[in-house]
């Protein structure tokens, strides 16, 4: 029984003691609700019996609970599906993030490699440019030094004697070649090089030191060089010099760098069959064969040796 039924419930004996009242105002019940009315007083309620009402409420509650559980289950299934889709999306995003990270790492590595290469190339280029500038400056200084020697020449293989007058020997050499020189035409005449030791036993085969002569005019120097080329093979015969007659040679005076370069050019020329290697006005020239159409090359630095003879010839 519900609390409502309990509140209004009375036993039959108690209900019989209740004084009767006028029921004229009581509305006529259209439906008895399948309730058996008996004289003497049974339990009667305006609605259904407590048992049937309780069953109906229970059924309604169960049905409502079942519907709610179905709806909750459906929502859970939808939520699970959404979570699966969300997880799948997260996994795809993680995969894309991993791919992006790999690409970023590769891109950073490439950028660093390019930067290192650029730095190396820039450094190498700067060093190359600096080396070229230094070589160019050295070549210019060498050319200026060579210009200071345009009035100089050197005479080799002239026998050397004690207390000799080098100027007088130079004038005899010039006379031997057919060029007349006066004292005022010779600015200076000396021998250069280290002196030989006095206790050496092989004095006959001792090579005499070079004679370096500076003339007052360049024309005289050119005349002596031309006469030496014409009278190639001239000897010291008739010059009142000690020892047997010997061939002597007159050449332009070169700077130390040009002498070394000229010596290397001669070695390369002999090795590679280049017939003509000479100097003119302090400049070094080479030509492989004779002929007007055959080109000649000027050598200023050692890099010109590679340019003319080739790296293979230099390496060999």
Q: What is the pLDDT of residues 245-297, one digit of tens each?
A: 889 999 999 999 999 999 999 988 888 888 889 888 888 999 888 877 788 89
Q: Which of 18-27, 205-214, 259-268 has the highest mean pLDDT?
A: 259-268
The set of residues, in sequence order, having a beta carbon less than 8 Å from that of 286 and lying 6+ positions away, is: 265, 269, 274, 276, 277, 296, 297, 299, 308
In terms of domains, do 64 and 127 share one?
A: yes
56 and 86 in a single domain? The answer is yes
| Residues facing 247 on adjacent strands | 235
12 in a structural domain: no
CA dist 264 → 128, 240, 284 (Å): 24, 36, 11
User: What is the distance in angstroms between the CA of the first residue and the CA of the last residue of the chain?
Assistant: 126
Tens-digit pLDDT profile for residues 83-97: 998 898 899 888 888
Question: Is residue 43 included in any domain, yes or no?
Answer: no
pTM for the whole structure: 0.54
CB 182 within 8 A of CB 215: no
Residue 40 pLDDT grade (very low, low, confident, very high; cuts 50, 70, 90): very low
Task: Give the per-residue pLDDT at 26.
Answer: 56
Distance CA 105, CA 117 (A): 18
Report if residue 26 sits inside a domain. Answer: no
**Does 115 share its domain with 165?**
no
When computed from its CA atoms, the radius of gyration of the chain, rounded to whole angstroms, is 64
Report how far apart, in Å, the C-alpha atoms of 68 and of each of 7, 54, 82, 127 are: 33, 21, 21, 85
Rounded Cα–Cα distance for residues 211 and 158 (Å): 8
- pLDDT at residue 153, rounded to an integer: 92
Higher pLDDT, 5 or 251: 251
Same domain, 122 and 104: yes
pLDDT for 47 beyond 80: no
Spatial separation of the C-alpha atoms in residues 10 and 43, rounded to whole Å? 8
In this structure, the answer to whether residues 213 and 282 fall within a common structural domain is no
Asked whether the beta carbons of 252 and 160 are under 8 A apart, the reply is no
Phi, psi of 190 (to 5 degrees): -140, 165
Burial group, residue 207, by CB count within 10 angstroms (0-12, 13-18, 19+)? exposed
Asked whether residue 281 is assigned to any structural domain, the reply reads yes
In a domain, 122, yes or no: yes
Tens of pLDDT, residues 132-170: 888 888 888 988 998 999 899 999 998 888 888 999 999
Taking Cα atoms as reference points, which of 305, 273, 271 lies closest to residue 288? Answer: 273
Both 226 and 303 in a single domain? no
Residue 76 lies in a domain: yes
139 and 213 housed in the same domain: no
How far CA 204 is from CA of 49, 97, 159, 169, in Å, comes to 161, 92, 10, 20
pLDDT of residue 202: 53
Domain count, the chain: 3
DSSP 184: G
Coil vs helix vs strand at 201? coil
pLDDT tens readout for residues 123-136: 777 778 888 888 88
Sequence-ordered alpha helix ranges (H) in the chain: 3-8, 12-17, 50-147, 166-176, 218-230, 256-271, 302-309, 311-315
Whole-number mean pLDDT of the chain? 81
Q: Does residue 26 or residue 262 have the better pLDDT?
A: 262
Q: According to the model, what pLDDT value does residue 45 have?
A: 46
Mean pLDDT of 50-55: 68
Q: Which residue has the higher pLDDT, 11 or 75?
A: 75
Domain extent, residue 314, equals 254-316
The percent of residues above 70 in pLDDT, for the chain, comes to 83
Residue with tokens 């006095």: 198
- In-domain check, residue 178: yes
Higher pLDDT, 24 or 48: 24
Whether residue 141 is found in the same domain as residue 183? no
| Across 38-52, average pLDDT | 52
Stretch 217-225: mean pLDDT: 91
At a CB cut-off of 8 Å and minimum separation 6, what does 207 contact? 157
At 29, the pLDDT band (50, 70, 90 cuts) reads: low
The proportion of the chain whose per-residue pLDDT surpasses 90, expressed as a percent, equals: 20
- Give the confidence band of 43 by pLDDT, cuts at 50, 70, 90: very low
Lowest mean pLDDT among 14-23, 105-114, 231-240: 14-23
Task: Give the pLDDT of residue 41.
Answer: 46
Quick check: is 15 in a domain? no
Instruction: Report the pLDDT value the prediction gives residue 27, as an integer from 0 to 100.
Output: 55
């Amino acid at each position: 029984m519900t609390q409502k039924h309990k509140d209004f419930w009375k036993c039959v004996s108690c209900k019989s003691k209740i004084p009767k009242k006028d029921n004229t105002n009581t509305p006529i019940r259209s439906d008895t609700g399948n309730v058996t009315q008996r004289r003497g007083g049974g339990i009667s309620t305006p609605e259904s019996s407590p048992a049937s009402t309780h069953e109906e409420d229970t059924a309604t509650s169960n049905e409502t609970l079942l519907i709610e559980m179905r709806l909750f289950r459906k929502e859970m299934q939808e939520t699970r599906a959404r979570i699966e889709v969300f997880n799948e999306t997260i996994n795809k995003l993680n995969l894309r993030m991993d791919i992006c990270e790999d690409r970023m790492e590769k891109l950073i590595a490439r950028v660093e490699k390019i930067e290192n290469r650029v730095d190396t190339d820039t450094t190498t280029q700067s060093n190359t440019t600096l080396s070229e500038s230094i070589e160019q400056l050295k070549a210019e200084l060498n050319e200026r030094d060579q210009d200071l020697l345009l009035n100089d020449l050197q005479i080799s293989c002239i026998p050397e004697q004690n207390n000799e007058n080098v100027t007088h020997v130079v004038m005899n050499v010039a006379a031997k070649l057919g060029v007349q020189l006066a004292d005022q035409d010779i600015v200076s005449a000396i021998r250069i090089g280290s002196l030989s030791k006095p206790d050496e036993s092989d004095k006959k085969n001792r090579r005499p030191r070079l004679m370096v002569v500076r003339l007052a005019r360049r024309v005289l120097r050119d005349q002596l060089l031309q006469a030496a080329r014409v009278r190639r093979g001239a000897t010291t015969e008739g010059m009142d010099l000690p020892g047997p007659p010997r061939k002597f040679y007159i050449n332009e005076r070169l700077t130390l760098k040009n002498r070394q370069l000229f010596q290397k050019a001669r070695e390369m020329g002999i090795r590679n069959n280049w017939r003509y290697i000479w100097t003119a006005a302090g400049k070094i020239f080479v030509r492989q064969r004779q002929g007007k159409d055959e080109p000649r090359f000027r050598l200023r630095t050692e890099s010109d040796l590679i340019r003319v003879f080739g790296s293979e010839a230099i390496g060999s």
